[in-house]
Chains A and B, each alone.
Chain A
Amino acid sequence: MQTEAEAPAKEPLSYQDIGVALRGVRRSFRELTALEGLDLDLRPRELLAVVGPSGCGKSTLLELVAGLQEPDAGTVTAAGAADPAGRRAACAYMPQRDLLLPWRDALGNAALALECQGVRRAEARRRAEPLFERFGLGRFERTRPAELSGGMRQRVAFLRTLLPGRPVLLLDEPFGALDAITRASMQEWLAGALVQEPRTTLLVTHDVEEAVFLADRVGVMSPRPGRIVATLDVDLPRPRRLTDPRVVELRQAALEALGG
């Protein structure tokens, strides 16, 4: 017999509880300890950026939340789910590289996310199409990845991440491979996209400026073994400007936390 307490789990994920929580997380690979004593909370629909030196375990952190890895100690919860399958269902994970399939056009690449959930190809494409219009990719639906610029490819990869409608977004240095000018315009584009589609977003980056420009809060990670050593509130209205004295000040504070 089914108990009362089990019933809500079968309903669609509630937007009331779409935060992320990591408690005392440790993760090691053989002798190498990537994360140790890591605590982190994401409130529903906030964008938290984690900055840290390279090799501090940022990608491991994302894969843990995404349900692609399990911690050796501690707990990870995403949108109320603590088991890896539940976390995978709650999170949309965007890896560093776009990983677009070269034989599919842009629309087909985004639609892949729905096909993986059992939606038929034609229907998946039909449902992906409005997103292309809304996010300024309207003319590129039939274009193959090889003919898209790095920035456009990253946008398609982001739409693929948005499309399944998962409450938690996990972005792994989404603009790391782009040139500075493209990166700046992509950051603005992402900020705009998240206003339209608010989700709980964990963004990992090594770019402190990017973190302050985009995030509600910035978590600073220590070198390996990684843990969160400081959290900064970015209480600034949007759109932000990189030249804003407060942005510069926060950037300085984050850099100091990184150095210490």
Chain B
Amino acid sequence: MRRVLLTAALLVAFVAAWQGVASLGSVDDLTLASPVETFDALRDDWSLLWDNALVTLQEVLLGLAISAGAGVLFAVAMHLFRPLRDATYPLLVASQAIPVVVLAPIFVLAFGYGIGPKLAIVALICFFPITVNLLDGLRSVEPELLKLMRSLGASRLRTLGSVELPAALPYLFSGLKIAAAVSVIGAVFGEWAGADEGLGRLVLLGNNQLQTPRVYAGIVILTFMAVALFALAALAERVACPWNRKELPA
């Protein structure tokens, strides 16, 4: 509860400072919309913002689902087959090093203006944290425990299902939380490279049309979306890994 209050206090202080800076005569209205103007834009353009937010949310959720599915499959395969891990690990790291900003227009050229390139970019960004975290989790099991499973006569798949995957679950959720936070950025990049709809496109358009309050309203919604997705992943973790709770109820 104290943490929530502290966060709220910090947020209020931030908004107040924002309003203060925006009210200074020397700051250009086109550069900085004040919180009041942003709120007005949120209210006046709500249906427009909301419709476009749903488009972006869809891209984010589908992209996350694709990267989670592929990431789990890939991490498990890499874990089970050592040569595959050795061969693909450097490529995995390289995939994260690709500047997505540059890649986005190429994806649009290849897949067109539809949802395809957005999903590809979101999935590309989210795949890495999910796969790497899960892989670390699968390898986190102590050697003694693996020895015990061997002495109990467990098959490879039994050890994977009963020991390694449950042990890796908190790691998977760590990856999902990071992925959830960055997924929105991926969708916006995808829309900037070419789109008919979506919050990212709306923000870009607003920028060109000098509708600064609308740009800020879009940013606020995008931020809320990322925070909400993160919170959802954190909640799912609490439900799925009750043994892993840091703070036990007193």
Contact = CB atoms under 8 A, between A and B. Distances in A.
A91 B158 CA distance: 19
Interface stretch (B61-69, B78-86, B144-152, B193-201): B144-152
Contacts, number: 49
Interface string A108-130: 00001101110000000000000
Nearest to A163: B152
B166 A103 contact: yes
A223 to B, nearest CB: 24
A57 interface: no
Given A97-B144, A112-B162, A115-B162, A88 B243 contact: no
B243 A113 contact: no
A88 B162 contact: no
A68 B158 contact: no
B153 A89 contact: yes
B241 A103 contact: yes
B152 A112 contact: yes
A150 to B, nearest CB: 17
Interface string B164-202: 001000000000000000000000000000000000000
A104 to B, nearest CB: 8
A66 interface: yes
A140 B61 CA distance: 42
Contacts of B247: none
B166 A113 contact: no
B145 A99 contact: yes
Contacts of B158: 115-116
A246 interface: no
Given A68-B147, A146-B243, A99 B142 contact: yes
A68 B243 contact: no
A101 B241 CA distance: 12
A93 B243 contact: no
B188 to A, nearest CB: 37
B163 interface: yes
A249 to B, nearest CB: 37
A164 interface: yes
A97 B147 CA distance: 12
Interface residues of A, number: 23
Interface in A84-107: 88-89, 91-93, 95, 97, 99, 101-103
Interface residues of B, number: 19
Nearest to A105: B243
A63 B146 CA distance: 13
Contact of A99 (B148, B155, B162): B148
A91 B241 contact: no
Contacts of A97: 144
Interface in A187-240: none
A95 B152 contact: no
B154 interface: yes
A123 B151 CA distance: 21
Contact of A101 (B144, B152, B155, B163): B163
Contacts of B147: 63, 68, 95
Contacts of B151: 66-68, 88, 91-93
B153 A68 contact: no
A152 B142 CA distance: 22
B147 to A, nearest CB: 6
B166 A93 contact: no
Q: A-B pairs with the 7 shortest C-beta distances? A: A116-B154, A116-B152, A93-B151, A102-B243, A103-B243, A99-B145, A103-B166
Interface of B: 142, 144-145, 147-155, 158, 162-163, 166, 241, 243-244
22 contacts: A67-B151, A68-B147, A68-B151, A88-B151, A88-B153, A91-B151, A92-B151, A95-B147, A99-B142, A99-B144, A101-B162, A101-B166, A102-B244, A112-B152, A112-B162, A115-B162, A116-B154, A116-B162, A117-B152, A117-B153, A146-B243, A164-B153
